[in-house]
Every structure is written in C-alpha cells, then in structure tokens.
A and B are shown apart, each in its own frame.
Chain A
Amino acid sequence: MSYIVPIGPYHPSLEEPVHARLYTEGEEIKKAEVFIGYNHRGIEKLSTQKNYIQTLVMVERVCGICSHSHAWTYAMTLEHIAGMEVPKRGEYIRVITAELERLHSHYLWLGIALHIIGHDSLFMHSWDDREAIMDILEELSGNRVNYGMVTVGGARRDIDDTGRVHILEMLEKIEKSMNRLAEILLSDKSVALRTQGVGILTTEDAARIGAVGPHARASNIPMDVRKDAPYGCYDDFDFEKAVYPSCDVFSRVVVRVLENFESIKIIRQALDMLPKGRINLGVGIPRIPEGEYMFRHEAPRGQLCYKVVSNGGECNERVSIHVPTFKNAPTVPTMLVGNSVADAGLIIASIDPCFSCMDR
C-alpha cells in the first residue's frame, strides 16, 4: 500500500518548522521531499538598512545555538575588507567562545538524538553536562544564548585570571563526565540498534551533494575549515579533525563525541597560552571602506559563509549568509530512502538541522 506521509511544518518530533513529504510503500520510504522557508525573517535585506554594529547584533540572532559563529564570521569578513589586525588576546577569546559554543551545540544534538532514540536517561545525562557549559558561557559573557562576545576588531569581554582558572576546573569535570558518556554511547546496545546502518549517506553521495561539517566528516570526508583554511588563531592549536567512515547515524554520533574532546583540547590550550594585551581595537562604529569579501568559519554544524559588500557608507551594501544546514539538508531525501518511517525523525535530526539559520 502506498502512502504519502507529511511531516511538519509543525510536528512534535521537529524542534523547528520544516515540511517533509515521505512517499512510502508500507513502512519503507521510497522517496522524500523537503520544503523550507518557514522561518524566513529577511535578515539579509534588513542588514542593508543597519550600520555595522547594529548588523553584528542582528546576525547574532540568526540562530539561537551558533549565535557566536554568525557574529564572529560577519566581524571577520568586515575586518578583512578594512584590513584590520585583531589583537591576539581578542582572537583567543573568540576561539574559546566558539569552542564552548561547539560543545554545547553538540551536547544539545546528542540529547535530542538520544531522546528520539528513546534513551531518556542518557539524554538527561548529556544535557546535565551541557548545563555546565552554559554556566561557563554565562559567567564569561553574562548570557546563555546571545553572548555578545564579538565586536568588529576583537572581543568585547576579557577573561580574568580567576575566570580562566575556573573554566579550566570546569573543563576537567566536563571531560570526566564526557568520558563516561562516550563509553556508554559507543557501547550501548539500544543506541547501536537505532543508529547503526540507519540513514546511510555514502562518501560519494556526500561529496556529490556537497555536505559540510560533522555531517560530511561522518561520511568519511575530512573537511574542516579550521584546518583547511585556518583563520583567527586556530593555527596556534594542536587538534585533530574528527572523521569516521561508517556513514550512518552512528557515525554522526561518534564524530560529535570525538569533536567534543577536540574542543576541550583547544579551549585548554587557548586558556593556557592566553596572550597578554588588549582585546579589541575599540568598540565604536567602525569605518569600513568600499570593498567586498567572503569568509568561512567552521560553525558547530559545518561551514558558515558570510559575504559582505561595502560601498564605504554607514550601512552594508549587501550581506549574504549561507549556513551549513542549507548544504546538509539536500542530503536528507537520499538518507531517508530505503529506511522505515519510524526512523525518519532520527534521520532528519541526524544532520543537526538548524532551520532558523537556513531560512534566515
């Protein structure tokens, strides 16, 4: 019997609005379609009517999870147009915030995936660890979501020595807990049953469609902007790209778990080597000369691109934002085909979608 199963745009298993149509034969998905755009707020258009600091505040609100990534990438794009050299201490603080953001984003995803799997005790455990990271971010910035840590030309808030030591102590606890979580995640039978061999995206398909970030790395594509085209001060740190070859939902779990350890490694190095000096070039409205630039940042979900055109005036001439979910969402129909309807929610969630980012 053939059915068309609609999911969304508003559905209990979806964190954000999107619409998917599953064409099924019994329980098996034969074809799938995805429709986006329910969160469109016209941010690119709005940014042409705002000055550079107003835009910085606005783009931080494109997404509630990777807010720092948006602000930082926009700032870096402007800094390259203007030829600004950001103070090293400011760069380090930006990296620390970015990696804390990656940690809490990956923990968020792990929690959601475990909830969909039905492993609620592990879901609670992972979100308990996430709370510790949110506490660090709150201590660092005063906020749990939109941190406001970035300005054009550096960071807005410094880290004092007491804060530095406290973050290192907290990381110790988080890492210990992460070790236990990783051990269970990678050996638990119910996690394995729900994730292994499910939602396969082969390396060839991932490359053909243009997947990015942890989603591509879980399909054995070793791409990571932090390593491939280093920016900020990522060159100063020793860390590895997390790549796993099984190409299924389990692979996406493994990659994010491994990345959590790498992020902790980066934050530790940044705090240990935190240079002395100023954190920014001043917090006034910057003068950006005529020009354009495109910059990429490895956000928690993958490559985030900002292209800014400036005419030398007060406002942006054009801001173009392209986010990792826009590159990863086209892989969803390919992953769904051949799987059962019961796994559709988990497979859609496995790309760690952010429709708020994608629709912008």
Chain B
Amino acid sequence: MQEYRKIFITKDEVVPIAERMKKAGVFLSMIHAFIDKDGKGNVSYEYEVGTGIESYTVCGENTLPSIESIYDLGAQWPEREIMELMPITFEGLDTSKRLFMPDNMIAGQGQILVTPMKELISKVQGKEDE
C-alpha cells in the first residue's frame, strides 16, 4: 500500500523541510505544480517517506525559494521545467540556460512551450531576416 499524505506549508517552510528531509536521507520523488483558476501557483514537493508519499504543498505563491542547493539536479530539473512551463519562479535557481530546447534556437529564455505559436513564428522569422 502506498499511502499519500498532503501537508500544507508556507513558502518559508520549503527550505527547512527540504533540509530536514535530505538530512534524514529521504528521496525527493518529484516536484509537481499547476496554476489554479485564479492564476496562482500550487507547488507540491513529494517526498518518499516509508512506503508512502508526503506531499508538502504551497498554495497561492508564484515565487518560491529553490531547493537546488539541497537536492542538486534532482530538484533543479523539476524546478527548471516548472519555471519554463508555468508562470512560477524559483529564487536562487540558475536560469541562465534553458532546459526545454537550446537557448540559441529562439531569442529569449524560458516558457517557450507556453508562448503563443504566432509569437514563436514571428521570432523565428525575425531571426532569419537578420
């Protein structure tokens, strides 16, 4: 049986919880996120505790602290993915390079997959004209 427990936390608790989990040798299964109907972020940090998942969830925030320094690439990739797909940012996360598609493909960075198609086409055409 895989239990699932959801625990609501504030953005200030994200880093202390990550540090506590890392110290206890807990595996960060994934960071999930979605945007609610009011346009606010809903980010869950899923930790494998015993046979189940403890889901530490922050609601209503679009800027959160990065836990890259604690969980390394295991946190960096999910944070970069979320940052590029949704209007949610992580303070302290290195965003100098893209994860989704190379940074020299289309000017600008981040959120390429939520950019309207027309805008993408005009960017590409603009680049070709240069």
Contacts and interface: CB of A to CB of B under 8 A. Distances in A.
Contacts of B81: 326
A209 B74 contact: yes
A147 B98 CA distance: 36
Contacts of A37: 99-101, 112-113
A225 to B, nearest CB: 8
Given A210-B72, A293-B4, A294-B32, 20 more contacts: A21-B102, A35-B99, A35-B100, A36-B100, A36-B101, A208-B74, A209-B73, A209-B74, A210-B71, A223-B27, A228-B51, A229-B2, A229-B52, A230-B51, A305-B29, A307-B44, A307-B46, A309-B34, A322-B30, A322-B32
A295 interface: yes
Question: Which of B73, B81, B99, B112 has the most chain A CB within a 10 Å cutoff?
Answer: B73
Interface string B29-68: 1101110000000001010100111010000000000000
A305 B30 contact: yes
A326 B77 contact: yes
B96 to A, nearest CB: 11
A292 interface: yes
A40 B29 contact: no
Question: Which of B1, B32, B46, B72 has the most chain A CB within a 10 Å cutoff?
Answer: B32
A305 B31 CA distance: 11
A294 B55 contact: yes
Nearest to B37: A317
Interface residues of B, number: 34
A33 interface: yes
A162 B78 CA distance: 47
A80 B4 contact: yes
B6 interface: yes
A36 B29 contact: no
B93 interface: no
Contacts of A318: 34
Size bracket of the A interface: 35 or more
Question: Which of B27, B30, B44, B98 has the most chain A CB within a 10 Å cutoff?
Answer: B30
A305 B46 contact: yes
Interface string B82-117: 000000000000000111111000000000110000
A293 B2 CA distance: 10
Contacts of B2: 80, 229, 231, 295-296
A253 B72 CA distance: 27
Contacts of B73: 208-210, 330-331
Contacts of B74: 208-210, 327, 330
B79 to A, nearest CB: 12
Nearest to B50: A229
A38 interface: yes
A54 to B, nearest CB: 20
Contacts of A305: 29-30, 46
B100 A294 contact: no
B28 interface: yes
Nearest to B75: A210
B13 to A, nearest CB: 20
A330 B77 contact: yes
A296 B29 contact: yes
14 contacts: A35-B100, A36-B101, A38-B101, A40-B100, A42-B113, A208-B72, A208-B74, A209-B74, A228-B51, A229-B52, A231-B2, A294-B4, A295-B2, A303-B29
B19 to A, nearest CB: 15
Minimum-distance CB pairs A-B, first 4: A210-B74, A37-B100, A330-B73, A229-B51
A320 interface: yes
A330 B33 CA distance: 20
A188 B112 CA distance: 46
B42 to A, nearest CB: 9
A119 interface: no
Given A210-B71, A305-B29, A320-B34, A35 B102 contact: yes
Nearest to A76: B2
A296 B72 CA distance: 22
A241 interface: no
